[in-house]
């Protein structure tokens, strides 16, 4: 599996271990929604530090996760976007609507605790 999802207190932490195909992105999207429901999580952190590319499909999937989780009172925080990936997303015009971002995992947990 190229993604691991761990539970820490009332949060879930998903670490993406390698670049994903669209099929794997869909599986991740569905797992993030299902696991938040199953664990009654209050927040989910998605660590994308190892992703070399965040394109429209990944962006849209993360937005779907955030929108759905919000209905369950859970926050979605994306952490670790690489500088070059951030620049590409910005140039593209991709927006992570409804998603909070933080520099890294630690900052993400602080954000959820705040």
Partner 1 sequence: MTSRGHAAMNEIRVPIASDADAVTARQHGREAALRIGLSRSEATFVATAISEIARNVTTHAGSGEIVIHEVRDGERVGIVVIAHDEGPGIADVGAVLASDYASTAGLGLGLWGARQLMDDLEITSEPGKGTTVTMRKWSGMGVLGIDLDNHGS
Which residues contribute to the site for partner 1 (CB under 8 A)?
19-23, 49, 52-57, 82-85, 87-88, 90-94
Per DSSP, 31 falls in state: H
Nearer to partner 1, 91 or 114 (CB): 91
Least distance in Å: CB of 82 to partner 1? Answer: 6
Nearer to partner 1, 54 or 62 (CB): 54
Instruction: Kindly compute the dihedral angle of the four CA atoms of residues 7, 9, 11, 12, in this order, to the nearest 10 degrees.
Output: -10
Which stretch of DSSP H or E encloses residue 6?
A: strand 3-8
Least distance in Å: CB of 104 to partner 1? Answer: 11
Tell me how far the alpha carbon of residue 108 is from its chain's centroid: 11
């Amino acid at each position: 599996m190229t993604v691991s999802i761990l539970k820490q207190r009332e949060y879930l932490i998903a670490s993406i271990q390698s670049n994903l195909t669209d099929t794997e992105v869909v599986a991740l999207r569905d797992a993030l929604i299902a696991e938040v429901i199953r664990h009654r999580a209050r927040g989910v952190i998605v660590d994308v530090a190892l992703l070399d590319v965040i394109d429209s499909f990944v962006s849209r999937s993360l937005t779907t996760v955030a929108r759905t989780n919000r209905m369950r009172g859970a926050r979605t925080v994306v952490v670790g976007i690489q500088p070059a990936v951030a620049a590409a997303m910005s140039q593209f015009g991709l927006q992570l609507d409804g998603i909070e971002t933080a520099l890294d995992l630690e900052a993400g947990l602080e954000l959820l605790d705040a």
